């Protein structure tokens, strides 16, 4: 079994233009986004190992916030997740897989978590 490094950002909230119903369009909706990124692992991580041996966690957060195109309406949250995966894979060829979980907060009635999980692997 090969070593792997999984980076995570969990429960990050961001407002995104998304939805298909008339009451959803034209205004941002709050989404809760969690991401895991499988990264090629270094042989060892010593106390003085530089950051470039891993990946800055803020790159994950950027892909789910400022990395989303401003003013673009995503009909499906699946397309939001796909854009996040693509952004991360373009940034760093050491990324082997990205999993994005999105929960639509605005449609919850009893604190249930309604959403999707998308995993993309590098081809």
Band (100; pLDDT cuts 50, 70, 90): very high
The pLDDT assigned to 116 comes to 97
The pLDDT assigned to 21 comes to 82
Q: What is the pLDDT of residues 34-44, one digit of tens each?
A: 999 999 988 89
Asked if 64 contacts 118 with a C-beta cutoff of 8 angstroms, the reply is: no
pLDDT at 27 over 90: no
The pLDDT assigned to 120 comes to 97
Q: What is the pLDDT of residues 68-96, one digit of tens each?
A: 999 999 999 999 999 999 999 999 999 99
Percent of the chain whose pLDDT exceeds 70: 99
In terms of Cβ atoms closer than 10 Å to its own Cβ (0-12, 13-18, 19+), residue 37 is: buried
Query: What is the distance between the terminal CA atoms of the chain, rounded to a whole angstrom?
Result: 20
Show the domains of the chain with their CATH numbers. Answer: 5-121 (3.30.1130.10)
Band (58; pLDDT cuts 50, 70, 90): very high
């Amino acid at each position: 079994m090969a070593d792997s490094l999984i980076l995570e950002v969990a429960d990050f909230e961001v407002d995104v233009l998304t939805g298909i119903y008339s009451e959803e369009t034209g205004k941002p909706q709050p989404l809760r986004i969690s991401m895991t990124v499988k990264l090629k692992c270094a042989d060892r991580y010593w106390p003085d190992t530089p950051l470039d041996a891993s990946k800055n966690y803020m790159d994950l957060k950027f892909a789910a916030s400022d990395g989303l195109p401003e003013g673009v309406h995503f009909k499906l949250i699946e397309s939001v997740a796909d854009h996040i995966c693509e952004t991360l894979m373009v940034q760093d060829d050491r990324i082997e897989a990205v999993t994005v979980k999105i929960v639509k907060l605005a449609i919850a009635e009893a604190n249930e978590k309604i959403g999707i999980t998308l995993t993309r692997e590098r081809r």
